[in-house]
A and B are shown apart, each in its own frame.
Chain A
Amino acid sequence: MSTTWRALGEIVVAAVQVIVTGVGGLVLVGLMRKVRARVEGRVGAPILQPLRDVRKLMRKERLRPQFATWIFPLAPVVFVATVSVAAVMAPLVTSRPALGSGADLFVIVYLLLLGSTILALAGLDAGTAFGGMGSSRAVTIGALAEPALLVTILALSISAHSSNFPSIIRATFVDPGVIISPARLFALAALLIVIVAESGRLPVDNPVTHLELTMIHEAMILEYTGPDLALVTLGEAMRLALLLGVFVNLILPWGIASSMSVPALALGVVVLSAKVVAVAVVLGFVEVFLAKVRLFRLPELLAGAFVLALLGVVSGVVAK
């Protein structure tokens, strides 16, 4: 009896986390655009516009490049699926997510990487010049961000003696002093740079540009339209929400649900949304004042993230 209920509860929790990242992610994208518009003195599109865009795209005709192989239609599905699985496992709304025991940070990172890789393959698959260029750039950035991210994970897991993400969050409840330890602060700074790079925001990639010389992510998905594009857009929004959610829960874990009761989960959703919205507004505001970094300068930025993460590891070991 109790195991059945527990399984049902886990399914509910998983569904809540996926829906929160899906809907919340799209709203988040709209919110960041709105913040940007307001700071620039424009009225801007409504915050719910990305939701409407996705609904509109879903109804459109399914069009695919003539010579594309099976990778092209598969990529958006795999992309959304990997992000969704990561959203199920990550401690976003609750510190005891479904499949929590397998939610190692490395697993989450490589799930996200799998999605990015299949999108890069799809960019090459259509055989256009822009798709190939976008894929090549996206993979370059991914390869540069990877070492920084791995060292960051190492730094985060030293204090908790575990790279299991829910355990890291629970360990901060036991000893809140960890949050202002140098190791954690360096790791979080490195993580922020990596998140900005991975989710294709300024100063690494400009999400609104379609200028051929500068676009990275947009070039990769240029051939997509209709329901396929809707899925890619949804996946991107979910990835942004997931990464920001992970980030805020590492800074301020308070408010995350520690039990499976309905009030705790509801509170978890509200608090998570408030924290992510706060970070997103700050990021959207800061982005207005940033110019895109030249592509050849990106190694400097990500090497900086790598050294920050390394400092995090070293200070974590010293503090022992």
Chain B
Amino acid sequence: MNHSAYTSVLGLSCGVIVLCAVVVLWRRSLRAIVRALAVQGMALALVALTLGLHGHDDGLVVVAVLVLVAKGAVVPTLITRIVRHDVASRETQPLVNVPASLVAAGVLIFLAFAASRSITALASSASGRLIPYGMAAMLIGFFALATRRKAVSQIVGLLLVDNGIALVAFLATAGVPLIVELGASLDVLLIVVVLQVLATQMRLRLGSVDLDQLAELHD
């Protein structure tokens, strides 16, 4: 793979990762949010694959395949199953409305780039300069986690944070050891399964998966 193709594929996939994070704040339909998450997982796998092929690192290629399966397919499918049972599958009233969230996302993107200036100044490689994208995805994930009300959009926010951390790890260290990556991926998978159990229970008891309904104690 020649160098200019390598940098442009890497830059494009990092851009797609941040774009998907923005789409999570942008769209109200939970299905669209989960689709954005799936696309983000695939883009993350592409980053790992590109880095692996460029650095002739077979371990990273294996990680790329694992990321593709776990974050691009399995986790989104599990979340889609929760969404499908939910009648009103829309994020109707986020704590911060959509235009304000998007402006906040813009600010967070700037913040990510400003905060990681000292890191990028040290980085000599093309991949090191893309670290702010991972930071941006992470911050937007935190924002989604804090301001969205549905259980599904909150878990998506958490997964955005996870993807952001994974992207920073790939770009900064050209891949964490396989066992660490596996552990993190299993963790996330576990969280999604727990969420699914929680959502099923909530739907049985309360008829919806709006987390605000858990704020009060009932007999």
Contact = CB atoms under 8 A, between A and B. Distances in A.
Contacts of A186: 15, 19
A310 interface: yes
B14 A311 contact: no
B12 A185 contact: yes
B149 interface: no
B11 A307 contact: no
A307 B8 contact: no
A299 B103 CA distance: 11
B75 to A, nearest CB: 25
A1 interface: no
B15 A185 contact: yes
Contacts of A182: 11-12, 14-15
A258 interface: no
Interface in A280-320: 299-300, 303-304, 306-308, 310-311, 314-315, 317-319
Contacts of A300: 26, 98-99, 102
Given A182-B11, A185-B12, A300-B26, A311 B19 contact: yes
Contacts of A314: 109-110, 113, 132
A211 interface: no
Interface residues of A, number: 20
A263 interface: no
Interface in B87-135: 98-99, 102-103, 105-106, 109-110, 113, 120, 129-130, 132-133
A41 interface: no
Contacts of B109: 307, 310-311, 314
Contact of A306 (B15, B102, B132): B102
Interface string A256-275: 00000000000000000000
Given A185-B12, A311-B15, A311-B109, A318 B130 contact: yes
Nearest to A300: B98
Contacts of A180: 8, 12
Contact of A177 (B4, B14, B106): B4
Contact of B15 (A177, A310, A315): A315
A181 interface: yes
B119 to A, nearest CB: 12
A310 B109 CA distance: 9
A204 to B, nearest CB: 15
A307 B98 contact: no
Contacts of B105: 307
A182 B43 CA distance: 14
A303 B98 CA distance: 9
Contacts of A177: 4, 8
B199 interface: no
B144 interface: no
A11 B14 CA distance: 46
B125 to A, nearest CB: 13
B132 A318 contact: yes
Contacts of B11: 181-182, 315, 318-319
Given A177-B4, A177-B8, A185-B12, A307 B132 contact: no
A304 B106 contact: no
B18 interface: yes
A177 B98 CA distance: 34
B67 interface: no
B99 A307 contact: no
A54 B121 CA distance: 60
A303 B4 contact: no
A66 B106 CA distance: 49
B130 to A, nearest CB: 7
A181 B103 contact: no
Interface in B50-108: 98-99, 102-103, 105-106
A307 B106 contact: yes
Contacts of A311: 15, 18-19, 22, 109
A303 B103 contact: yes
Given A177-B4, A180-B8, A314-B113, A303 B102 contact: yes
Q: Which 8 A-B pairs have the closest CB atoms?
A: A182-B15, A303-B102, A303-B99, A299-B99, A300-B98, A310-B106, A307-B102, A182-B11
Given A311-B15, A318-B132, 7 more contacts: A177-B4, A181-B8, A303-B99, A307-B102, A314-B110, A318-B133, A319-B11
8 contacts: A181-B8, A300-B26, A306-B106, A310-B106, A311-B18, A317-B113, A318-B120, A318-B129
